[in-house]
Structure 1
Amino acid sequence: MGTDFHNDDKALLEKVDETLEQRKKNGLEGLSGGLEAVIIAVEPERLLPAAQEFINYTGHDVVDAFEDNAQKTIVLKREGSADILVYTRSGHENPFAASNRGAKTGPYPNTRLETFVFKCPDIETYVAKQTGCGRSFLTQDIQQTDTYSFIQTPPSAYTCNSVGFIQWKNNEGEYRSQHATPFDPGLTKPEASYCSNILELDHAATRVRAEERDAAIIEFMEWTNYHFEFAVYVESLNSITNVSRLSLDDFALVFTSGIRPFVSLEESGPTERFIYNYGPRTHHLAFNTENIEDTVDALAEHGMGYISELIGSREEGLKQIFTKPSPHTLIVNEYIHRYDDFDGFFTKSNVTALTKATEKQ
C-alpha cells in the first residue's frame, strides 16, 4: 500500500454495484435477514459485571443463564430489539485470540464483541450457496440443537468480527439447548424509570483500517443482504463513517476507518489511533433513547461516565452521546434520539464531535 493511499467512494461504489449483481446471480438475496443477536466474549471474572452493566444501562434484562462444557452464557433481551449474549469460554481454543492484540488489550486477551447473528430462513441452502461461491465457515457443519441451527464465519481479516446465521426450529429466541444447565447469575435490574427510555439496538460501529475499508464493507455485503448507504468524511480527523443497512427500519452496521492509513499516534487521528490501541473491533453499540436529556442525566447519577457531551439538537434532527468504554467489555454505549421525521441517520457535525471524543480512549 503506497504512502499516498487515501479513500474515496468512487472505487467502493463500483464494487458495491458488482457485489449486488453477483449476490443476485448467486441466489443469495432473501437468504439472510435482520439482526437477531450480538455475541460478546469477556474474561471469566468479568462475566457477571459485564451483564450487570447491560442491565443497569440499557433496556435489556436477563432472561436466561446457562452453561455447558464449552462456555457460560447470559442472555439479555428487550422487546423489539436484537438480543445481547454475554459469555465466557471454558478453556477451549479461542479463534478470535489473534484479533485481540493491541497496545491496550493486554488484560483482555479474550474480550470483544465477536459475532453479529442474523436470521436465516433456510440455512442449508444458504450454506450450500456460499460454499459454492468459495466461501468457508468456522465449522465444517451447521451446528444443530433442539431449538436452532447455527453457523458462523471465521473472524474477518478486516473487522476481526464474525457473522453468524441462525434458523429457529421452535421456541424462537431460545438459546439454551437441552444439553445446557441453567444457573442463577443473581443479577437484578435497578428500579429506575430511565431504563424504560432505552429502547432497541439501533446500530453498531466497527473500526477498520483505512486501507481495508472497501474490503470490509464488500465482505459484509457478500455474507448478508445489507447495502452500503453512504459515507461521512471528517477530513480534519482523518476519519470516515460508512453506513450499511438492510432497510430504513433495521439495525445498521457502521464501518469507521481513516481516510489515510496509520502513520503515527500523533498524526493519524482518533479512528486509526483506536485501531492501533485495540485492533479492528466494534467500538460502540447504539441504543434508541426516549427523553434523552433526562435519561443521560439519570444514567450519570447511577454511575455512568461519558467521553462526550450530549451532541446535536431538535433543529438538527438528532442528539447523541458516547459513554466511557466499559471496563468489562471495552465497548462504548451510544444513546441516540432522532426527532420527528429525521431520516438522515447522522449529521456531519455530530459525527465530527463524536469522532473527536474518541481521542479520550
Structure 2
Amino acid sequence: MTISNSFPRQGDKQNSAFFEEYLERLLQERDSIGLTDMIDQVEALMITVDPGQSIRYIGELALMTPYQYLVTLESKSHWTHVLRVDMNSPDLLIREVKDRRTRGIFRSLNEVYPVGARKPNSRYMGEVLRVQDMHGVVECQQQRQFRFFSQDDVRKLELPGNLAIVKPSPYTHNIVCYMERPLDQLRIYALGNSSISPEVQDVYLAAKELQKKLRIDDLILPIDHLATRIYSQNREVAILEWLSLSSYYYWGSYNISDQNSSTNVTKSVHHNNEMHSPAKVFTANNTPYFVNHLDGLPSPTETFARNYGPRLHHIAMAARDGETDRRENIEHVVS
C-alpha cells in the first residue's frame, strides 16, 4: 500500500491547523481504501476555445511544445482535436464549440467574470486521470460526497462517453475525469466521428517546420507543471480537494512575499518524473483583495481570479538540459 504522507515536506509557508489535520486524515483514508493505488497519472488535459480559434491555437501549440496533431473528433456541436507527445505524457484535448450561441455549464463559469466573459467559451476544463477500476473509483468518490455528471449529462455535453466526470470544483472551477485504461493499450476517446482535418494538418505541419528552422524541436520537452490561480480563502480547501480526487501528495508551499501570494505544489505519488504526470500547482493571495489597500499590498493573483474567475493560469513545458550556441537551452527556446 502506498503511504502518501511519507514524502518530505518542502517550503516555508505555514498552514492552518485545519489543513494539517485533514491533510493527514484524508491521505491516510485515501491510502487505506485503495484509492491511491487505483488512481494513476494524468492522462489528458482538456481545454475549450471559442468558435474559429482551435486551428490557430493548435498552430501555437505545435510551435511551442512537442505535441503532435493526432485526430479530430466531430460531434454535433463541437470539434475536439487530440494532440499527443507519446503514451508516457498527457494528451491535450482542444475542444471548439461550432456555434457561438451554444450555451452550457463551462461557458457559464466564464460569464460572471468581467474579462472571462469576453471569451465565454475559452477556458481550461480540467484533467483526465487514468484508473484501474473506474466503477470502483467512482463508487468510492461518491461515498466521499463527490458528485458526478450522469451518463446522459456527459452525452449532452458532448464529452467522451468512456469518462467518469466529476462536476466542476467550487474552488478551482475545474473538472476531474477518470478513464480506465490498461497500460498496454492506447488512449481512446469515445466521442463522435474521427478524421484528420486538412486545415489542422496544414497549420500543424507549418508550425513544426518553423520549429525545426528555429532549432528548438529537440529542446522542448513535455509538460512540467500546471498552475491554477484561486481566491485566497480557497487555497487550503482547493489543495485538499485535489488530493482527495487524485493520487497526488502535498509537496509543500512557498511564500512569495513581494507578490503577497504563495505557490503551493502537489506531485504524483506514483511518478518521480513530472513529464509523466505533471505537478499541479495552486497560487493564491495571502490576503483577500478588500484588505490589501490598508497595508498597500500587491494583489496580482486575487486580481486575476476576480477578472477571469478561478482557473488555470499557465502550463509550463520542460526544456532539455544543455546549451545551444553557448546559451542555456531554455534561453535559446524563449528567445
Q: Place the TM-score, normalised by the shorter chain, in its bin.
A: 0.7 to 0.9
Distance in 1, Cα, partners of 2:38 & 2:287: 35
Is 2:258 the counterpart of 1:208? no
**Aligned to 1:134, what secondary structure does the other structure show?**
coil
In the aligned structure 2, how far is the partner of 1:279 from the partner of 1:194? 34
What residue ranges of structure 1 are gaps of 5+ in the alignment? 1-6, 301-361
Counting helix residues as a fraction of each chain, which structure ranks higher? Answer: 2
| Aligned counterpart in structure 2 of residue 85 of structure 1, from 66, 79, 93 | 93
Aligned length: 293
Partner of 2:73: 66
- In structure 2, give the amino acid aligned to 1:64: V
What whole-Å deviation, never above 9, does each CA across 1:194-252 have from its counterpart, x for those lacking one? Answer: 02211111110001111001110111111111111100001231111000011332421
Match of 2:21 in 1: 14
Match of 1:252 in 2: 279
- CA shift, 1:284, in A, is 0.7
Distance apart, 1:151 and its partner CA: 1.2
The residue type equivalent to 1:270 in the other structure is P
Structure 2: 5+ residue stretches without partners: 1-12
Letter in 2 for 1:128: E
Q: Cα RMSD over matched residues?
A: 2.6
Aligned to 1:116, the other structure's residue is in SS state strand
Q: Which amino acid aligns with 1:131?
A: Q
Whether contact under 8 Å (2:43, 2:130) holds in the other structure is yes
> Does the CA contact (< 8 Å) of 1:211 and 1:261 recur in 2?
yes
Cα deviation, residue 260, structure 1: 1.1
- Quick one: distance in 2 between partners of 1:97 and 1:297? 38
Runs of 4+ in structure 1 over 6 Å off: 141-145
Deviation digits for residues 328-353 of structure 1 (CA, Å, limit 9, x no counterpart): xxxxxxxxxxxxxxxxxxxxxxxxxx
Instruction: Please show how residues 1-361 of structure 1 align to structure 2 within 5 Å.
Output: 8-11=14-17, 12-79=19-86, 80-91=88-99, 92-100=102-110, 101-140=112-151, 149-168=162-181, 171-175=185-189, 177=191, 179-180=193-194, 182-184=196-198, 185=200, 186-187=202-203, 188=205, 189-191=207-209, 192=212, 193-247=215-269, 248-249=272-273, 250-263=277-290, 267-290=297-320, 291=322, 293-300=328-335
Q: Counterpart amino acid of 1:230? A: G
Partners of 1:272 and 1:159 in 2: CA distance: 13
Aligned counterparts of 1:93 and 1:132: Cα–Cα separation in 2: 31
> Identity, % of aligned pairs?
26
User: Please, which moves more after superposition, 56-65 or 10-19?
Assistant: 10-19
Which of structures 1 and 2 has the larger relative contact order (alpha carbons within 8 angstroms, sep 6+)? Answer: 2
- Larger mean CA deviation between 12-21 and 88-97 belongs to 88-97
Question: Structure 2 length as normaliser, TM-score?
Answer: 0.79
